[in-house]
Chains A and B, each alone.
Chain A
Amino acid sequence: MSVDRYEAVIGLEVHVHLASRSKIFSWSSTAFGEEPNSCTDPVCLGLPGALPVLNRAVVDAAVRLGLATCSHIRPRCRFARKHYFYPDLPKGFQISQYEEPLCEGGAVEFRVAGEARRVRLTRIHLEDDAGKNIHDDSGVSFVDFNRAGVPLVEIVSEPDMHSAEEAAEYMRALRTLVRTLGISDGNMEEGSLRCDANVSLRLRGAEKLGTKAELKNINSFKHVREAIEHEIRRQAAMLDRGEAVVQETRLWDPERGLSQSMRSKEHAHDYRYFPEPDLPPLAVDQDWIERARASLPELPENRYRRYVGGLGLSGQDAGVLISEREIADYFDAASKVCAAPAKKLANWIINEVLARVDDARALAAADLPVPPTALAELVDLIDKGTLSGKLGKEVFARMWQEGRRAGEIVASESVAVVSDAGLIEETCKKVVAANPDEVARYRGGQSKLLGFFVGKVMKEMGGKADPKSANEILRRLLG
């Protein structure tokens, strides 16, 4: 394969559904999965005479995203009509932004295999989503307009990415960011996060960009990777054969794992953009921006830096913790009340807690059996030596099952490690007295036999002896 001769240049256009209760220009619900055409109104159906009115909560969400990516927020922007005919597009145009987007510039920061990356943004703009065509087996088509008018932001990146993996990580970072901001559920299965990719190749070291193809319909992280990898191979093979890449729009078919040409540059749509006359220009004043800024939570990359720089976590652990807002929130809530080192707490979350939830969002549930403070209490008990690591795991399992606190389980069922020196000493003496042969061999130099005595003491005490004290006492008695 000749892929290595070429450098891929990739830019993404990511569409994110904003989590508002009502649509961007009307009042019907944005709920997903409802009865087809039940969440509609005259405006989102494009009925004659209906007019759009901008939902300000949606603007606020986009302003927050703009601030979180250090974009410039335009004090005055406009909406524009983008025209094309399609059955799922009820007005015959989409209300989008063209010459005056809400946000310009900015960047998204993330890491690929631990290495920091920064992808610049061209713009972020607001628009309404279209409905959905549903094709019947009998050849009849239906249109469901529940999705029509659901608010979208389109986040357009500069062509700053060079591999499929980087593009996938960029998507992940955006998803984490919008979920951290609380402006979207970022749910790819429900189409809340979709992406088109612009891919071109050039010879390594070359300055000039090659001819790009635009891939549409990429709806999961896996597909981002597969579609771009496939496109890189396809273009590399063409260039190897001396063919020119054609500027075109291609549709990714995830089932078959390949893309097909939709339309070439010559047949590109003329969208006939013009300013939306039904909506006055949108003014976002400094007050609004400052209020939005003040409401921003700690962003994933800042968290990452705090975890690694401030708390001494490994980059890998920090990466896992920030991958979902709920995991990081859980960690922060626990670490606030936990005396044990952050590293231990992080290990418990990554190895035990995350093993028990399919979806990180469960960590924010009110009825979570082990809330962060309860985990902190358990980790502290282990750190202080009240519980051994092994006992700790048993106690955690019971906490998860029964929803009880560690202290409660320890107190009521005496599962704690016995650290009463008198009781341990008594047991040790008994064990020493009962095994004269082993005592002689130990004293003769077989110091490995200490383990044998510790084991006996543990067995006598039902595994609850504090291993550290038992070791010390036995060494003294045998020494």
Chain B
Amino acid sequence: MASPQVVGASIAELADGVRARKWKARELVESFLDRIHRLDGRLGCYLLVDADGARWRADQVDAAVAGGRDPGLLAGVPIGLKDIFVTRGLETTAGSKILRGFVPPYESTVSTRLAAAGAIALGKLNMDEFAMGSSNENSAFKPVRNPWDLERVPGGSSGGSAASVAASLCAGSLGTDTGGSIRQPASLCGVAGMKPTYGRVSRYGVIAFASSLDHPGPFGRTVEDVAALLEVIAGHDACDATSIPSPVGRYRQACAAGLAGLRVGVPEEYFQAGMDPEVEAAVRGAIDEIARAGAKLVPVSLPHTQYAVATYYLVCTAEASSNLARYDGVRYGHRTAEASSLEELYSKTRGEGFGVEPKRRIILGTYVLRSGYYEAYYGKALRVRRKIADDFRAAFSKCDVLATPTSPTAAFKLGERNADPLQMYLADIYTVAPALAGVPALSQGCGFTRANLPIGLQLIGPPLGEEAIFRVAGEYQRRTDWHKRLPKDPS
């Protein structure tokens, strides 16, 4: 048997090797566990490593292969789960002290589907507390460091999910994207990540931040890896009333389908004066490459883009203040040591358990939803949100996919933006509008800065237009080798 080379390997290579008995799932797991053991102390990707569970499941996959059964599309592929997916019997914290010690009695739909397809969860990945943040510095436990430069942030909130794939501490991972939390860290870490159409992937068992904006989705080194993971996790779920019943697309095939006849829109609002010149150059270069590959470029306009960030922060804080109400210390997670009244139990538990950012958003959201102010804030935000969705609808009458930058800058330094939440919120400027509209969007690498930091290209599609996105992403990736560059292992 060949010994598996897990660094930089694609999901398809690893799974094919398991099915063809080139290597065992157990060997893959051991290789990744060894890397985690050696390297994650410097990177901080994992909040919990389930070594025993992973070994046990790997042995199950190997037994299936030995018995002539196909363990599934993701046979033996070691993956990581953002710690926002509940896992039966494994502590799940959403990056918050208030959930410390919470061991869920049930499993999220998507992690169940991954396991059923043969994937092996290695553990739970670090994140900004309750997915609130763009740098992963809001984790209540430890920051995640960017594998390309340990002094820099990996992006957030799915920082652990992006960094672990970039550093080959898992072959693929799941994250969630509420305003950019998959795409922005994917961009900053130089991997591919997709926020599918709202409702395409079940939210059952995904700890809620902002229900109408939360999108679970995959990270991979390549767009094919993302496509494979999405094929497994997408599809209707009777446990999520907002889940879409239509059949799942053939995303892997789309990656190789070419660009013939495809129109790619370039929204002017995403290329404004003053944007980072390195980012602009890389993204414009990628768009030129896509045009050379056969796509027709179309200038389009999304006129309500400038209102997206404000709208986003009204909607997400309102919903967060509601979703975080359940953390009261009565049933699970943190409870204050001593309280002399019910009121005190609540205020002390929540005061001790939540970090600064959830507190800020709970207070903002509570303000937004006050009786008598609903119309002025939340009601108005919902109306603007419809205008933003209308912008996309109009644009997609002229093109099939939009191409934009993912993040206005490459990875910034730890601590650099901590003091100014508004500055931090602007990291989401290109990613929030697709989240508000619920349309699918993917980020993939399209270059590096002079400081060797990855730059991301965002491809946005119409509702359920994932296949069109994968056609562009697959073709662009075939013509470039940004995805083949790997960060050096930290010493």
Binding site for B on A (CB under 8 A): 42, 45-54, 81, 83, 85, 87, 90-93, 143, 270-274, 277-280
Contacts and interface: CB of A to CB of B under 8 A. Distances in A.
Given A87-B330, A272-B322, A280-B241, A48 B207 contact: yes
Given A53-B240, A92-B325, A273 B99 contact: no
A373 B208 CA distance: 59
Most chain B CB within 10 A, of A49, A81, A279, is at A49
Nearest to B108: A49
B240 A274 contact: no
Give the interface size bracket for B toward A: 35 or more
A238 B332 CA distance: 47
Contact of A48 (B102, B212, B318, B374): B102
B114 interface: no
A51 B207 contact: no
Contacts of B451: none
Given A47-B105, A274-B318, A277-B211, A87 B342 contact: yes
B331 A90 contact: yes
Contacts of B330: 87, 143
A278 B331 contact: no
Contacts of A277: 210-212, 242, 319
A42 B99 CA distance: 16
A459 B312 CA distance: 98
Contacts of A52: 241
B384 to A, nearest CB: 16
A49 B241 contact: no
A54 B105 contact: no
B203 A51 contact: yes
A129 B94 CA distance: 28
Interface in B125-149: none
B346 A274 contact: no
Contact of B374 (A45, A53, A143, A273): A273
Main secondary structure of the interface of A (DSSP, over half): loop
Contacts of A48: 86, 92, 94, 99, 102, 104, 207-208, 326, 332
A280 B242 contact: yes
Contacts of A49: 84-86, 104, 108, 203-208
A45 B331 contact: yes
Nearest to B369: A272
Contacts of A46: 326, 331
5 nearest A-B residue pairs (beta carbon): A92-B325, A272-B369, A277-B211, A277-B212, A48-B207
A92 B328 contact: yes
A270 B365 CA distance: 13
Given A83-B322, A85-B328, A274-B318, A51 B240 contact: yes
A91 B321 CA distance: 12
B339 interface: no
Contact of B325 (A50, A53, A93): A93
A210 to B, nearest CB: 24
Nearest to A268: B371
Given A49-B206, A274-B378, A277-B319, 4 more contacts: A48-B102, A48-B208, A83-B369, A277-B212
A267 to B, nearest CB: 13
Given A92-B322, A274-B378, A279-B241, A50 B204 contact: yes
A270 B330 CA distance: 22
Contact of A271 (B208, B212, B371): B371
A47 B319 contact: no
A17 B94 CA distance: 35
A468 to B, nearest CB: 72
B371 A90 contact: no
Given A51-B241, A271-B371, A93 B204 contact: no
B336 interface: no
A45 B331 CA distance: 9
Contacts of B242: 277-280
A47 B331 CA distance: 9
Contact of B370 (A53, A272, A279): A272
B94 A51 contact: no
A47 B322 contact: no
Contacts of B60: none
Given A47-B104, A48-B94, A85-B328, A274 B239 contact: no
B56 interface: no
16 contacts: A42-B104, A45-B331, A46-B326, A48-B86, A48-B99, A48-B102, A51-B203, A53-B239, A54-B241, A85-B346, A87-B330, A91-B325, A92-B325, A143-B330, A272-B321, A274-B369
A234 B92 CA distance: 54
A42 B326 contact: no
A79 B9 CA distance: 47
B366 interface: yes
B238 interface: yes
B366 to A, nearest CB: 7
A50 B210 CA distance: 13
Contacts of B240: 51, 53
Given A45-B331, A83-B322, A51 B204 contact: yes
Given A272-B322, A274-B322, A274-B378, A50 B241 contact: no
Contacts of A271: 371
A270 B327 CA distance: 19
Contacts of B104: 42, 47-49
Nearest to A26: B239
Contacts of A47: 86, 104-106, 332
B241 A53 contact: yes
A279 B6 CA distance: 42
Contacts of B321: 272
Contacts of A272: 321-322, 366, 369-371
Contact of A42 (B84, B106, B327, B370): B106
Contacts of B85: 49
A278 B369 contact: no
Contacts of B327: 92
A274 B374 contact: yes
B25 to A, nearest CB: 27
B316 to A, nearest CB: 11
A53 B204 CA distance: 10
Contacts of A279: 241-242
B206 A270 contact: no
Contacts of B322: 81, 83, 92-93, 272, 274
Interface in B77-117: 84-86, 92, 94, 99, 102, 104-106, 108
Contacts of B374: 273-274
Given A45-B331, A50-B205, A53-B239, A83 B370 contact: no
A279 B199 CA distance: 12
Contacts of A278: 208, 211, 241-242
Interface in B303-356: 318-319, 321-322, 324-328, 330-332, 342, 346
A124 B245 CA distance: 31
Given A48-B94, A272-B369, A85 B211 contact: no
A81 B365 CA distance: 14
A12 B58 CA distance: 61
B347 to A, nearest CB: 10
A90 B240 CA distance: 19
A278 B199 CA distance: 11
Interface in B183-212: 203-208, 210-212
A42 B105 contact: yes
B408 to A, nearest CB: 28
Contacts of B210: 277
A49 B214 CA distance: 11
Contacts of B99: 48
Contacts of B325: 83, 85, 91-93
Nearest to B212: A277
Contacts of A92: 322, 324-328
A177 B10 CA distance: 65
Interface string B348-391: 00000000000000000010011100100010000000000000
A91 B330 CA distance: 11
